Each structure stands twice: as structure tokens, then as C-alpha cells.
Chain A
Amino acid sequence: MNIIVCVKQVPDTSEIKINPETNTLMREGVPSIINPFDLHAIEAAIQIKEQTGGKVTVLTMGPPQAETSLRESIAMGADEAVLLSDRAFAGSDTWATSYTLAKAIEKLGADIIFCGKQAIDGDTAQVGPETAEFLNMPHISYIKKIEDVTDSSIKVQRMMDEGYDVVESSLPVLLTVVKELNQPRMPSLKGKMAAKKAQITTMGMADIGADENSLGLKGSPTQVRNIFAPEVKAERKMIEGSPEEQVENLLKELKEIKCI
């Protein structure tokens, strides 16, 4: 089983400061950690490896100092690490980030790809699903339990607002995980010693065969206008009736609110 875990290095603070002029994150002078959700992804990957054998590769796109996060992942038990670093990657939005990760994953090959649910800085929760789309691969988000893994399939519980779904998928598949999934382990001493010596593979634009125009700032359609916490307007309507009636009513409702 080849497992890739996408990890993001994020600033260690719950109070992220935002540059009022550019509306972007100010990262200077804040210590970096592995995105907390990604620790659960690493733990899940190691647990599967312990069960089925295989290899866990951690993958990150970031500046050279993101290597620290990769070494910390190896100390927890990951086998290999790949750093995607290239000037051409700078300024990526979630689209360009996902494209870049997908190109690298294509090159590396994997049966299961893990992502965190979201990054605590960017917070969009888009990179996992978008990466799966670029890879033309099924994805299951918000998984809180792995029920079963075989050579060709996986069965998981997906967290919902109330309760959970049980979802089964063929492999390869991309999964995004929530904290309920497991308790990330501490690093081990042997892992730490291995991490110190580990060879970290660095890959750039050419290595992953990426199209220059889809990368970094150039490949990023997002323009940040404003950042705000959206008001949560929880309104729910149950649509009753036979399946046919339900579809008809749903279409009517959606047209009324001009969704379609």
C-alpha cells in the first residue's frame, strides 16, 4: 500500500494577523507547526501501514523551511518525504496548490492520499477535494473512522452535522480527515534519529511536469477582496413525498431562490 499524506506547515497561532492592505496572512515571526488536522492524517496513514504494510510518504508544498514539518512527520513514523519547492509555486491559491500537489502525486503514485480537513491558516478546506478532482479520483471528506481497508477498497465513516455516513470507495482515493479520527502519536526516538538523517527529496516545476501557467500567482484565479466570518443562517426545510414529488418540489424551491 502506497500512502501519501499532504501536510501543510502553518503558523502556530490561533490569532492569525491579517495584513489590512493586502488582506493576506502575515506569517513573519510566528513559529511554524504541522497543520493540526494533518497530524491526524499522518497517524491514520501510519496505522494503515502497520496493518497492511507499505510505505507512507509525506508531501508538502512550501518554502525550504517547510522541510522541518517533513522531518517531524518522519519522526512520527513516515518513511519518505517530498518537498515541493520552486519559485514558480509562490503565491498559489487553493486552485494552483491543488494542481501542483496533484501533479506531484501523479508522479509519485499512491493508493490512498490523505489530507487534513482544512488548514488552520487558509481555512478553506478546498485543497483536498480540488486535488482529487485534478487527479480525476474519488474523494471522501471529513472522515472520522476507517472501518476497513483492502488492497482495492476502503470503507470509512464520514462525519455529518448529525450522525455519519458509511462510505465505501475503490482505490485510489483521496480522504480528508477530522480530529475525531484518532489520537496522533508522539514522535519516537528511533523516528527522531531517522528524521535527522533522512534524505528529503525536493521537486520543482520540471520534476513534476507541471504547466508553468497553471502554477503560483499566474495560475491562481483567486483575488482576495475581503475576509469575514459569514453569518450562519441555519434554515432547514424537509421536502416530503414520493421520490418523484420530492425531486419536483426540490427543483421548484431551487428555482424560487434562483439557484438554478
Chain B
Amino acid sequence: MDYFLDEEQLMIRDLARQIALEKVLPIRAELDEKEEFPWDIMKTLAQSDFFGINIDEEYGGLGKGGFEMGLVIEELSTACLGVSTTFAANSLGTYPIQIAGSDELKKKYLPDIASGKKLVAFGLTEANAGSDAAGVQTTAKLEGNEYVLNGTKQWITNGGDAEIYTIIAITDKTKGARGASAFVVDKGTPGFSFGKKENKLGIRASSTRELIFENCRIPKENLLGKQGMGFIIAMKTLDKSRTGVGAQGVGVAQGAFDAAAIFAKQRQQFGAPVISFQAVQHMLADMATQIEAARALVYSVAKFIDSGAKDVAKASAMAKLFATDVAMKVTVDAVQVMGGSGYMREYPVEKMMRDAKILQIYEGTNQIQRNIIGQALIKETTKKK
């Protein structure tokens, strides 16, 4: 379907598509097999200016929005979710600086992020703080001109490979949700180390590690916003980034659908291509319809957020929830349409099915998305009375 993208949006999408086809697709199976971090692809994306898409022009970016970022994430995801996760996690880790960073911090960090010189990671989750982010136990104590960080972050995308980390830590235990703050931490700071790389079901090109802080001292200027704003910054960050996860869902679903449709046309059984059987056609019809609905929702919500709208939590949760549930269903069905071949590593859809599962889990599980939508509905109905 034509979404009437403007000339620059088409340029962005087409170049991202070209990189997905020429640079990602040929090596995705190998990256998955070897669990290899996609450095070469990150370098290509950097050289082609993709890391700066939604960073302001004054910091060397292109000054576009989450919508354009989503277009890029979607295209990369049609080829490989591991690669698109590595790329998208940068945007996730950058939002806290964009949302709450001082001029100095923006000047210090955003140009290197926009040029792709330095990768970024976002550290919220801990062993005891998953869905319940308020359970964060990592502490940051102000001592003179420095904050001293102690604690361990778990399952952090790009952990160890990124140079810049935005971290949520507790500055005042007594204040509950208002006791958390957000910080920027550089790799190489004494007292900051990494755990081993996790071995995962899918998105194996993406790296996931622990971040370990042991009396890690950072300048007090590395505080993002004000002390106590940590969770607000984290929630605003996730509100913005969730359409990116939605875009990942649309992309991987499209990639799986394309592979399945081509296969169904070529595969002959009972003297006819399997696409001629109505049962198969109907599966493909449902898949295509769900993908288009997911895309339409993700695009609309991204534009809604880019418009500067204030209350976006519900819409952004809907985009993530719907598009990633579609991604799971479509990738499972793509394997089904392709039968035994779909289950084999020679074809890309088994990987897409393994990869898609993460989309229902990270950046808030889909149960949590339903909670967010539900809470918004309660608020709205209360107002209506």
C-alpha cells in the first residue's frame, strides 16, 4: 500500500532497503549461527548517516523523527532482527539524552552518536527489576562532585559493545518511584565492567550482557535532568521507542511473509503449487492483512508522537503490542506454509520465528503493554463520567 511518503522519506527507506538487501541479507544466517556482532553493517549504517536520522541537525543529525527512524528499522528487520535490534537499541539509549540531557551533555554525546562513531545502550532492567522497573536496586550516591554507582544491570542490548550507556539508578531509596535518576556513563570508566555475553534463542547477532558497577565514579554533570526524574525519563524514553519495536514487528513479518509467499508459489504438491490450495491462500491472506494493519497503526502512532502530542503512552503501547503479536503469529504461520522446509536452516523463516519472540518481551512485555492500555482506558472512562 502507498503511504504517500515524501521524497526524503522515500530516499531514507530505499537506501535502508538497499543496505538490508546487499549488506545484511547475505550474512544474516552466518551472524545468527556464529552469534556475531554485526560491526561491518553498523559501519555501513554509520557511513550512510542512519544513526543521525532522528538527532537534531545542530548535533550533526538529519533532524527527522521517530517515523523516519521506524522506516529504517522496518527495512533492516525484513532482513535480520538481530541487526535491527543492535541498531534500534542506539536510538533507545539516546532518547534519555535527547529528552533530559543538558546542553553540555548533548554537545558532548550526540555528535558522536549521530555519526555512528559510538554505539549506545540503555540500562534499566535488573535481576529483580523486569516488568516491575521500580524494583531497581542499583544505587548512585552523590559524593562531592561525583556520583558513585553500585549494582548490576541485566540483559542489556549492546552491553560491552557500546561506548555510551544511559543508566537508571536509585539516588534516594526513601522516595520510591521518585527516588530514581538517569545518568550517562562512558565505557572505560573505572569500576564499570561487563558480564559474559548471553546465549539466546534468537536475535543472536545482537549482544546482551550484564553491566556491573562497583564504586564506579562519574562526574555529577552526567546526571540527566534532575535527581528523582529517572523513571519519568525512562517512561518517556519507552513511549518514544516502542513504535521502533512495532516497526521491527512489521519488518520481520513482511520478511517472513515474502519468503512464504514465494515458496508457496513454487512448491508443487498434488500436481499444483501449494498456493493454489485455499487453506494456504487463506493463511497468506490473513498474514498480509495483519501486516498491513500493523504497518498502518505503527506509522500513524509514530506520526502522532512526532507531532509533539503529550499523552502518547496508550497509542505507543498499542503500536508495540499489535505489531509484535502480528510478527509472532505471521512468522509461525510462515514456517507452517513452508512445511518442513520452513523448519530448516536453509530457509530464513525459522530464524525469523525464533527472532520474533523477543519483540513480545523486551521494552515491556506485551502483558505490560496491555496494562498500560488498560490503565489509560480507566483514566479515560473516569474522565468521561
* In the bound complex, CA of A190 to CA of B260 (Å): 36
Whether B44 contacts A186 by the Cβ 8 Å rule is: yes
Give Cα A192–Cα B53 distance, bound, in whole angstroms.
Answer: 14
* Chain A CB within 8 A of B15 CB: yes
Q: How far is the CA of A191 from the CA of B50 in the complex (A)?
A: 12
Within the complex, what minimum Cβ distance (angstroms) separates B376 from chain A? 36
Interface residues of B in 14-35 (CB under 8 A from A): 15, 18-19, 22-23
Taking the closest CB of chain A, its distance from the CB of B216, in whole angstroms, is 35
Chain B, 173-200, contact with A by CB distance < 8 Å: what is the 0/1 string? 0000000000000000000000000000
Q: Is the CB of B15 within 8 A of A186?
A: yes
Interface size on B, residues (CB 8 A): 15
Inter-chain contact B47/A189, CB cutoff 8 Å = no
User: Measured between alpha carbons, how far is A193 from B6 in the docked complex, in Å?
Assistant: 13
Alpha-carbon separation in the docked complex, A190 to B53 (Å)? 10
Q: Does B103 contact A (CB under 8 A)?
A: no
Question: Which residues on B sit within 8 Å (CB–CB) of A213?
Answer: none
Taking the complex as formed, is B49 at the interface, i.e. its CB lies under 8 A from any CB of chain A?
yes
Contacts of A185 in B (CB 8 A): 44, 47-48
Is the CB–CB distance between A192 and B62 below 8 Å? no
Q: Identify whether the interface residues of A are mostly helix, strand, loop, or mixed.
A: helix
Q: Is the CB of B50 within 8 A of A189?
A: yes
Q: Which residues of chain B are within 8 angstroms of A193 by Cβ–Cβ distance? A: 8, 11
| CB-nearest residue of chain A to B19 | A186
A138 beta carbon closer than 8 Å to chain B? no
- Give the CA-CA distance A192 to B11 in the complex, in Å: 8
Q: What residues of B have a CB within 8 angstroms of the CB of A188 in the complex?
A: 47-49
Residue of A nearest to B16 (CB): A189
B-facing mask of A179-209, CB < 8 A → 1, else 0? Answer: 0000001111111110000000000000000
Q: Bound state CA distance, A193 and B12, in angstroms?
A: 10
The interface bits of chain B over 153-191 (1 if a CB of A lies within 8 angstroms of the residue's CB, else 0) are 000000000000000000000000000000000000000
CB pair A187 B15 closer than 8 Å: yes
Closest A residue to B40 by CB, please name it: A183
How far apart sit A42 and B272, CA to CA, in the bound complex (Å)?
50
Which residues of A have CB within 8 Å of B18? Answer: 186
- List chain B residues, Cβ under 8 A from A190: 49, 62
Residue of A nearest to B12 (CB): A189
The chain B residue with its CB closest to the CB of A186 is B48
The smallest beta-carbon distance between A185 and chain B, in angstroms, is: 5
Return chain A residues, CB-CB under 8 Å to B12.
189
Contact assessment for A189 and B49 in the assembled complex, using a CB-CB cutoff below 8 Å: yes
- What separation, in Å, do the CA atoms of A185 and B8 have in the docked complex? 20
Q: Which residues of B contact A191 (CB under 8 A)?
A: 49
Chain B proximity of A157: nearest CB distance (Å):
23
Minimum CB–CB distance for A45 against chain B, Å? 15
- Of listed A185, A189, A193, residue having the most chain B CB within 10 A: A189
CB distance A192 to B47 under 8 Å? no
Tell me how far the C-beta of B15 lies from the nearest C-beta in chain A, rounded to whole angstroms: 6
Nearest-neighbour CB distance to chain B for A166, whole angstroms, equals 28
Known contacts A189-B62, A191-B49; 15 further A-B pairs (Cβ under 8 A) = A185-B44, A186-B44, A186-B47, A186-B48, A187-B15, A188-B49, A189-B12, A189-B49, A189-B50, A189-B53, A190-B49, A190-B62, A192-B15, A193-B8, A193-B11
Q: Chain A: residues with CB nearer than 8 A to chain B?
A: 185-193
Give the top 7 A-B pairs by smallest Cβ distance, nearest first. Answer: A189-B49, A188-B48, A188-B49, A186-B48, A190-B49, A185-B47, A192-B11
| 7 interchain pairs, CB-CB under 8 A | A185-B47, A186-B18, A189-B15, A189-B49, A189-B50, A189-B53, A190-B62
